[in-house]
Structure 1
């Protein structure tokens, strides 16, 4: 009888123990021991969960005996049983299909309210003990307004292949931060994703596609998509590269998610170097110096040894470092090759040429040498997006923000050699609208890429570059003739303007493209027209629907006055309808981000 009573006591004690709710904490890292941001941590069999913060840490309430599932885009799912109050630390390995990971809605009991932003976020995704400094800088963006076709029939801008805006916002969402409006660059969000545009025909460097449909966010308006696709060049067929890594090792870079992540990220690029490629490394802190003389790309061990020895400390002599890097690039210039400086920093220049204007003048001067520039942004808290963008724009280059090893593999692995192989430079677009069809228009995004109309035919005016395999997408919202809109302000009727040809065609608009060959000085012209249509956006291509979803989410983040819906569900519906094949799963990740942002 005594034995039986003991067994009964043990049985109920076990049940009581397993029913005990405890606070579970831990850290999630990748194979390189670097923290993963925004990992979904879900209690299996429930809707309770959270996400890791910028340091890879999480915290949630769970019962002993329950299982936690750790899932992250591009990584294999991990399961761990809650046994006691000891931290559950997890290392995740790459290899999972990106498209299979979609976040599950979290229970309200696991959500806290951010004191900074006033929005509800998953408990662990806001770094309570490591609050973000509000010292990040972004150029002010004045959202494009609707322009009347009768007074402004032309819209002219430069292409933008930068993608930093999306990965930077993703970092903020995963970290539970309030997103500054000026950090939301809608064109960079849209162009982060690749689209299934056709390969160019004949000898042209890029193909052009256009679509029009009814707008998904405003009744009575239309949405136009203009897409470019650069010719795909196989990596083995790209010219030899002369690369100079210009690395910030100042004190502001002294953290695992800055210099630590940078060192691991460069390993991805080094893995893809060929024997004919050359690499040099320049570092700068209080002063600038060379830590690796030009070295053949197949000598990977020597290159990685130089990278592994890097440590951070001192102030930031950015201007001095840029001059030295360009000097080495020019001395080792490869004719008909890819000559490029790759600057990696948090953008915190504070010694020497530090103002945006001084840096702009320096880079504009250096680009005449034929050396292009890639800017890689790292870190949070004091990230200087405005300076990074200035340098990339003036250096005939591009700008990316690396927040995780997943992004490092995308930027420096999958896409890098296509990015640095420029197939067209100074690419400009000019759209002329038919006043008999279109009452007003607005370009969505590209605010810092606008050009004067007369710049289109001026070959001395700098514009964006297009790399091998790149896609570029631009969206216009149109108000057709006869549609009343609160977005339009009245102007006096024009006395002299009257285009009789406009009424003789069903064309909605004409798109003109100018570009130069990579080593050319005289531009070439391509012209394409788009006919009017009343197509529902649900009947358009998946690319059109997905790009519209990204644009709508960006406008919601900016609290745009030009959209009638603030509904996240509408974004998700559009994105899921436009998800398409999603071979690499980045569209699924976008859907996860929208669902997790509250």
Structure 2
């Protein structure tokens, strides 16, 4: 080997080592979390969170949160210190590439006794931490009189502001995640476009957080004496839009209106460890224990259903029609841009056997893309990218045109689904939900299903979106950010698209000699008359591949009734293709009940905690004796025992609700 060849080989080897070494260094994730006082459950400010053996760490903010970015992939121990609390070590914190590891924990206060009183007095000028060294204030009407479509575009007009190819906003002197701006008094790190008030004027009605939010209150189920009615009948519901919307309210610093909270959708948001059946369509799971929040001598029964799972590569081909609202209201808060991003995620999950068509509607409806194979993905992507907002909202014409396209491409061997992306506002043509629903039944019976996906806060019609999804034999989801879109269109795509059972209804027949009274928690708008349980023309709910349904009952039993069978659960459903009707039953045996709440499964306790949180938020009569602090305590205990990431979010939302209710009480 010549000297030159040797040198070249060594240089190439060094370059390759450097490249691969750099690649290894770039394999990073991030750690974030929140710390609470174990006694008061209040967030802890000023705690030091350090990765043991390194100089990396963070300090908790006013809400107890901390973030440690750019942490190399691996397993770590966090050391938490604070002058007023005992030192805490959190072990086995695993960081994965490009993922966020969430840690929620509590600190034990130190006990200190002073032998004498100490008074410290000091004076210091107040530092305005949010006062900038320089600022630019575009006029309030700039977005209406300048050729811009987003807040980012408007900010780019200021010196030192630019948008990089990654579409992240950079303000000179800081990285993208350090940029912060205020628009009409709201501070944030993401664009916020003010939503015009639905009724005109300058303030919302009755101090509501948002203008033009349409919900319907269905009441709260009472306790029913079994001697009057021993049958409880309802249609299943797998939606969780109410939970996601409540999350948006709370994260924006507002309590949700009571009518926006549907308890069953809080319960069904969470993932429970139900085993999927192999051959039959459902597995049924029963568990009972003393009710944690229902008072003395009240028991709780959990009824869980798990649908058969269809592997992703076994999913049937799909004929999809995207029916997209491009009316003027979809420009607020970048709703249409979020729709585009969500649909891009969905496109990435589809196969060449799938076809997509696109219909849009504003003042009038039109076809943007005729049915096109996913093999021509770029054509579909281009059609989505070119969408822009304009005009009023003729939802009726848009839905009619979408069904017309779906009907022409209908194939009984495939999934035939319309996906409606909208804020639910209809102000041109047929605008009431009942009128629009009349047009859906024929197509639903034929096998063309409708899923509704809601976007936006302010000028939003929850009632219409929920009814369309229910009556269209699909489901209703609400998207508040890209992570939620990913959960619907990526993580749960097969369940979103492929139905394994239609018109699913549940009837529980309680034995009046054992059960004195019962209360179904939630499902008020899914009530089915008892005599129509076996009426196969009566509408039920749909269950997709791998979907879970959970219902909770509070029970009051007769004295000396323990050890006896409580009743029977019946589930009636239709085959998704043939329409053949089947019915299964499951006895409620005493063996499914635990003698104490503490011995119940973590899944049972999570469902009970989520339900009570919802019952308090919606002002349920049966939650008057309960408190968010008690719910918070149970949620925090669940987190300590399970380290379930879903519980982290629940803890955060309960804490936010506590503060907001306290602030409201102090006004």
Q: Structure 1 residue 564: deviation in Å? A: 5.5
1:404 Cα deviation from its structure 2 partner = 0.7
- Contact (CA 8 Å) 1:98, 1:584: kept in 2 or not? no
Q: Is the 8 A contact 2:616 2:624 kept in 1?
A: no
**1:540 paired to 2:600:** yes
Counterpart contact for 1:244–1:342, Cα < 8 Å:
yes
Equivalence for 1:47: 45
Deviation at 1:134, TM superposition (A): 2.7
After TM superposition, give the deviation of residue 144 of structure 1 in Å: 0.3
- Is the Cα–Cα contact under 8 Å of residues 211 and 459 in structure 2 kept in the other structure? yes
Within 5 Å, give how 1:456-495 maps onto structure 2: 456-482=533-559
C-alpha distance in 2 between matches for 1:509 and 1:77: 54
Q: Report if the CA contact (8 A) 1:422-1:518 is conserved.
A: yes
Q: Is the 8 A contact 2:44 2:64 kept in 1?
A: no
246-255 vs 585-594, which deviates more? 585-594
Q: Does 1:312 align with 2:389?
A: yes
Aligned to 1:18: none
2:292 paired with 1:216:
yes
Q: Distance in 2 between matches of 1:322 and 1:128?
A: 27
2:610 aligned residue (525, 546, 550)? 550
Give the structure 2 partner of residue 276 of structure 1. 353
1:405-454 Cα distance to aligned partner (Å, 9 max, x none): 11111111111222211011111100011112211111000000000011
User: Does the CA-based 8 Å contact 1:99-1:589 persist in structure 2?
Assistant: no
Once the two structures are superposed, residues 571-596 of structure 1 have per-residue CA deviations (whole angstroms, 9 ceiling, x without a partner) of: 23333444599798222211221122
Report the counterpart of residue 338 of structure 2 in structure 1: 261
What is the CA-CA distance between 1:257 and the residue it aligns to? 3.6
Worse-matched range after superposition: 233-242 or 250-259: 250-259
How many Å separate the matches in 2 of 1:268 and 1:389? 23
- The equivalent position to 2:648 in structure 1, one of 568, 585, 588, is 588
**Matching residue of 2:582:** 524
Give yes or no for the alignment of 1:411 onto 2:488. Answer: yes
Give the equivalent residue in structure 2 for 1:84: none
The one of 553, 575, 587 aligned to 2:635:
575
Q: Using a 3 Å threshold, how does the CA distance of structure 1 residues 76 and 251 change in structure 2: closer, same or farther?
A: farther
Partner deviation per Cα, 1:118-169 (whole Å, 9 max, x = no partner) = xxxxx96999987843310111221000000000100000000111011000
8 A contact 2:301–2:555 mirrored in 1:
yes
Could you say which residue in structure 2 is the equivalent of 1:245?
322
Aligned pair partner of 2:303 in 223, 226, 230: 226
Q: Does 1:295 align with 2:298?
A: no
Find the counterpart in structure 1 of residue 168 from structure 2.
none
Q: Does 1:200 align with 2:277?
A: yes
| Cα distance in 2, alignment partners of residues 347 and 94 from structure 1 | 38
Cα-to-partner distance string for 1:516-562 (whole Å, 9 max, x where unaligned):
11023332111111123452121111110100000010011012211
Measured in 2, the distance between the counterparts of 1:255 and 1:289 equals 22
**Equivalent in 157, 179, 184 of residue 261 of structure 2:** 184
TM-align CA RMSD: 3.4
Measure the CA separation in 1 of the matches of 2:605 and 2:35: 30
Q: Is the 8 A contact 1:99 1:586 kept in 2?
A: no
Counterpart CA distance in 1 for 2:419 and 2:460 is 17
Q: Distance in 2 between matches of 1:387 and 1:101?
A: 38
Residue 176 of structure 1, CA deviation = 1.3
Q: Distance in 1 between matches of 2:62 and 2:348?
A: 29
Q: Give 3-state SS (helix, strand or coil) of 2:244's partner.
A: helix
Higher relative contact order (CA 8 A, sep 6+): 1
State the alpha-carbon separation in 1 of the partners of residues 35 and 558 from structure 2.
51
Give the total of aligned pairs.
494
Aligned position for 1:327: 404
User: Larger C-alpha radius of gyration, 1 or 2?
Assistant: 2
CA distance in 2: counterparts of 1:450 and 1:580, whole angstroms: 37
What is the 5 A alignment of 1:509-520? Answer: 509-520=567-578
TM-score, with length taken from structure 1: 0.76
The DSSP-based 3-state class of the residue aligned with 2:595 is: coil
Q: 2:452 aligns with which of 375, 393, 396?
A: 375
How do 1:491-510 and structure 2 match up within 5 A?
Answer: 506-510=564-568
How far 1:298 moved relative to its partner? 3.2
User: Deviations 1:74-116 (Å, cap 9, x if unpaired)?
Assistant: x98489xxxxxxxxxxxxx994345436799xxxx99xxxxxx
- Name the SS for the 1:430 alignment partner: strand
Q: Once the 2 structures are TM-superposed, how far is the Cα of residue 314 of structure 1 from its aligned partner?
A: 0.3
TM-score normalised by the chain length of structure 2:
0.69
Structure 2: runs of 5+ lacking an equivalent: 1-31, 37-42, 48-57, 72-95, 108-126, 129-185, 196-203, 660-667
